[in-house]
């Protein structure tokens, strides 16, 4: 068996060392004991730092990989540029019946309301469906609306809104589950080989960013074979846990389906795959006016948002899946959504026998002060997407105008929850936002945009130290993953490693994102 010695600065997660040795995918020695070994390979860390590999506590690898194959609308800065890209892609793919892409910027037009006719100008004879980068909104052309049967007479579904023109006709923007599904349910599924290739693309992106474990936070049954096949072909370059999405309309039937799928993944998915989690959406998003709020929106005083589940139904479903031995993972953005999620987890803990459940609430954008201490008391992991904690156009043009300055200043209470003793993990929600952990760490530490505003940081009381941010993206995610052997680098632990070009603890915090990932190792095997 080959022994690899890493010589230089090592941040173990429990302290610092000057060397680490790996054999057969495991750490076998640290410090002087590592330096005394006969090594087959020596990696000189130079001015860099070795630490536990990053994990992503909330992401969508398949969606991210599939974006690679469609129109490249992400990052485009105008409606005209998006339409031109859609037209270019359509011309290059004349045999594609549907043109599907993501992630356009919803801040490009007032209130994020996009007109089908803007896409018609580029492609009128085939349906076009684009997801906003929050994946809670769809922009489509007139042909897509026609194929879906959406007309002025189509009522708003229970969970979703059809944005309309003054005459009642559909504008082309659909918000939230049932409205988006009016069109998305008509989109043909992708071939298995393409889904496997999407996971291959995602794996390369993750490896280059220093990531070795990902929580796929939205898995439908048809996505599972792609993961199993990717693992079988050796096309999976990261560990993944799959979270099955619970449907409020059919969750009771899903219980048996999810138990069977969990067993199938355990039997066929190999050592990199697990499927131990069930995902719930408690609410939507603030920028769309669908996050569930305790008080009405400032720009819509008739509305407190759109809860996806009635509170009692969410508590019943969470309790049932918890009883089936699933970790629960709840998307909750608004303060009412967070409270409903906490209530549901508390109900499950009261009703079911004690076990190591490690429940997760993801995003945690606005928390009522009365609920902050409940995370630590209930052992709920607060999963933040730290890149969002900056005063960017999404905040200044959509979110803060909708919730007002007082609630706006309570967003993403990272430091408050860390100081309370609550477990905290970080994620990216990729492809919603960048998968690069160092970009999120920079924002978590500075609460500033990459351009440096505001100079003292937005809500600076919520800034984390570099060590706290590193812990959230390493040990915090490992705790969420039930991967206690990867929380810190210790003898006998898994050798999931990342080598950075500089020590994040000693550089200017505004340059953290510029640190390069020089190497990534998954169970001792180099993936980047």
Instruction: Using CB atoms within 10 Å of the CB of residue 451, give its burial: 0 to 12 exposed, 13 to 18 middle, 19+ buried.
Output: exposed
Q: At what angle do helices 192-208 and 224-233 cross, to 10 degrees?
A: 70
What is the rounded CA–CA span in Å between residue 162 and residue 152?
Answer: 10
List the domains of the chain with CATH numbers: 98-184 (3.10.310.70), 192-520 (3.20.20.140)
Sign of the torsion formed by the C-alpha atoms of 136, 141, 145 and 151: positive
- The residue ranges of DSSP E strands in 24-152, in sequence order, are 26-30, 41-44, 49-52, 54-59, 99-104, 128-132, 137-140
Sign of the torsion formed by the C-alpha atoms of 440, 441, 444 and 450: negative
What DSSP line would sit under 470-501, residue for residue? HHHHTHHHHHHTT-GGGSS--TTSB--EEEES
What is the rounded CA–CA span in Å between residue 489 and residue 505?
Answer: 18
- Give 501's contacts (C-beta < 8 A, 6+ positions apart): 47, 48, 515, 516, 517, 518
Q: At what angle do helices 466-473 and 437-446 cross, to 10 degrees?
A: 140
Q: Which of 354, 353, 347, 360 is nearest to 318 (CA)?
A: 347
**Rg, the chain, Cα only:** 23
What is the rounded CA–CA span in Å between residue 351 and residue 344?
Answer: 11
- Which whole-number Å values give the CA distances from 495 to 22, 28, 37, 40, 460, in the listed order? 7, 9, 17, 16, 35
First to last CA, the chain: 21
Q: What are phi and psi of 49, to 5 degrees?
A: -140, 135
CB-side exposure of 171: number of CA atoms within 13 Å?
A: 17
What is the rounded CA–CA span in Å between residue 331 and residue 174?
Answer: 20
What is the rounded CA–CA span in Å between residue 65 and residue 202?
Answer: 5
**Residue 234 burial (CB count, 10 A):** 9
- Give 109's contacts (C-beta < 8 A, 6+ positions apart): 79
**Residue 200 burial (CB count, 10 A):** 18
What DSSP line would sit under 257-300, residue for residue? HHHHHHHHHHHHS-TTEEEEEEEEE----GGGT-S--SS-BTTB
* Rounded to 5°, angle at Cα 414 from 408 and 420: 120
- Cα dihedral value 426, 427, 428, 432, nearest 10: -120
What is the rounded CA–CA span in Å between residue 505 and residue 499?
Answer: 14
Predicted local confidence at residue 135, as pLDDT: 82
What is the rounded CA–CA span in Å between residue 230 and residue 192?
Answer: 10
Whether 160 contacts 138, CB under 8 Å:
no
3-state secondary structure of 380: coil
Whether 60 contacts 216, CB under 8 Å:
yes
- Which whole-number Å values give the CA distances from 375 to 102, 172, 370, 399, 402, in the listed order? 34, 40, 11, 24, 26
What is the rounded CA–CA span in Å between residue 447 and residue 375?
Answer: 22
What is the rounded CA–CA span in Å between residue 489 and residue 14?
Answer: 8
Q: What are phi and psi of 150, to 5 degrees?
A: -90, 120
Sign of the torsion formed by the C-alpha atoms of 376, 382, 386 and 392: negative
**And the tokens for 22?**
């790996």
What is the rounded CA–CA span in Å between residue 143 and residue 437?
Answer: 39
- Which whole-number Å values give the CA distances from 27 to 12, 482, 485, 486, 522, in the listed order? 11, 19, 10, 10, 12
What is the rounded CA–CA span in Å between residue 161 and residue 431?
Answer: 23
Whether 487 contacts 52, CB under 8 Å:
yes
CB-side exposure of 498: number of CA atoms within 13 Å?
A: 30
Full pLDDT tens readout for the chain, 528 residues:
899 999 999 999 999 999 999 999 999 999 999 999 999 999 999 999 999 999 999 999 999 999 888 899 988 999 999 999 999 999 999 999 999 988 888 889 988 899 999 999 999 999 999 998 778 899 999 999 999 999 999 998 888 889 999 999 999 999 987 888 899 889 888 899 999 999 999 999 999 999 999 999 999 888 999 999 999 999 999 999 999 999 999 999 999 999 999 999 999 999 999 999 999 999 999 988 999 999 999 999 999 999 999 999 999 999 999 999 999 999 999 999 999 999 999 999 999 999 999 999 999 999 999 999 999 999 999 999 999 999 998 899 889 999 999 999 999 999 999 999 999 999 999 999 999 999 999 999 999 999 999 999 999 999 999 999 999 999 999 999 999 999 999 999 999 999 999 999 999 999 999 999 999 999 999 999
Helix ranges (DSSP H) in 61-191: 61-67, 79-92, 116-120, 142-148, 177-184
What is the rounded CA–CA span in Å between residue 233 and residue 272?
Answer: 12
């Amino acid at each position: 068996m080959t022994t690899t010695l890493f010589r230089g600065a090592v941040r173990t997660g429990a302290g610092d060392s000057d060397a680490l040795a790996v054999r057969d995918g495991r750490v076998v020695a640290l410090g002087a004991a590592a330096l005394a070994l006969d090594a087959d390979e020596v990696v000189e860390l130079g001015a860099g730092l070795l630490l536990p590999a990053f994990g992503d506590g909330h992401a969508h690898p398949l969606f991210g990989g599939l974006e690679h194959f469609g129109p490249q609308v992400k990052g485009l800065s105008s409606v005209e540029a998006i339409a031109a890209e859609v037209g270019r892609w359509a011309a290059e793919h004349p045999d594609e019946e549907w043109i599907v892409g993501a992630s356009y910027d919803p801040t490009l037009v007032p209130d994020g309301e996009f007109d089908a006719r803007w896409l018609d100008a580029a492609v009128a004879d085939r349906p076009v469906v684009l997801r906003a980068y929050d994946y809670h909104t769809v922009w489509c052309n007139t042909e897509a609306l026609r194929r879906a049967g959406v007309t002025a007479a189509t009522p708003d579904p229970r969970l979703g809104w059809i944005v309309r023109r003054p005459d009642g006709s559909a504008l082309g923007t659909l918000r939230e589950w049932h409205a988006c599904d009016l069109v998305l349910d008509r989109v043909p599924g992708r071939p298995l080989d393409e889904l496997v290739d999407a996971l291959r693309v995602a794996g390369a992106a993750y490896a280059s960013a220093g990531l070795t474990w990902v929580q796929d936070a939205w898995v439908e049954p048809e996505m599972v074979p792609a993961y199993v096949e990717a693992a079988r072909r050796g096309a999976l370059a990261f560990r993944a846990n799959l979270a099955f999405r619970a449907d409020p309309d059919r969750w009771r039937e899903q219980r048996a389906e999810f138990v069977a799928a969990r067993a199938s993944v355990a039997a066929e998915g190999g050592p990199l795959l697990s499927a131990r989690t069930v995902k719930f959406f408690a609410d939507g998003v603030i920028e769309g006016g669908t996050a569930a709020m305790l008080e009405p929106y400032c720009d819509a005083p008739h509305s407190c948002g759109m809860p996806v589940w009635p509170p009692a139904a969410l508590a019943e479903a969470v309790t049932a899946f918890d009883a089936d031995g699933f970790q629960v993972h709840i998307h909750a953005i608004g303060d009412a959504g967070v409270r409903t999620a906490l209530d549901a987890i508390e109900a499950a803990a009261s009703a079911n026998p004690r076990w190591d459940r490690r429940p997760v609430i993801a995003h945690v954008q606005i928390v009522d002060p009365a609920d902050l201490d409940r995370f630590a008391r209930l052992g709920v992991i607060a999963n933040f997407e730290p890149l969002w904690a900056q005063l960017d156009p999404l905040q200044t043009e959509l979110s803060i105008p909708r919730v007002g300055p007082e609630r706006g200043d309570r967003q993403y209470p990272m430091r408050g929850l860390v100081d309370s003793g609550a477990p905290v993990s970080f994620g990216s929600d990729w492809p919603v936002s960048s998968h690069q952990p160092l970009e999120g760490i920079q924002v978590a530490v500075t609460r500033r945009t990459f351009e440096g505003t505001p100079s003292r940081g937005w809500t600076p009381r919520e800034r984390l130290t570099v060590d706290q941010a590193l812990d959230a993206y390493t040990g915090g995610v490992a705790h969420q993953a039930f991967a206690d052997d990867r929380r810190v680098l210790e003898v006998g632990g898994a050798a999931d490693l990342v080598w950075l070009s500089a020590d994040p603890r000693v550089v200017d915090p505004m340059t953290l994102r510029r640190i390069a990932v020089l190497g990534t190792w998954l169970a001792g095997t180099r993936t980047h």
